[in-house]
Amino acid sequence: MCLAYPGKIVSIAETRAEVDFGGFTKSVNMMLMPDAKAGEYVLVHAGFAIAKTTEEDAIETLEALKSVYDAAYDIPTPEPPSD
């Protein structure tokens, strides 16, 4: 099974991009996505951007991955503050 993780392109220099994955950045190879631009969201697998995605889909995926992680490690989800 493969997993591609969504992130937002912060900057691009030649064939590498700095991609933000919800608070941390990594250098990603962009050779498979030469038309991608800063500000767009991409799916990253094994260090390569492999597809574009929308901001909405990226956020939904990140939330789903966090839910799976929290459930696997039994981390309680904090309650929102009450008024």
DSSP codes, 55-82: HHHHHHHHHHHHHHHHHHTTPPPPPPPP
Two tokens, residue 25: 């950045």
Top-level class of domain 5-72: mainly beta
> pTM score, two decimals?
0.80
Alpha-carbon span 77 to 83, nearest angstrom: 19
Alpha-carbon span 58 to 17, nearest angstrom: 17
Residues 25-51 pLDDT 10s: 999 999 999 999 999 999 999 999 999
Domain definitions of the chain by residue range: 5-72
Supply the mean pLDDT for the chain.
90
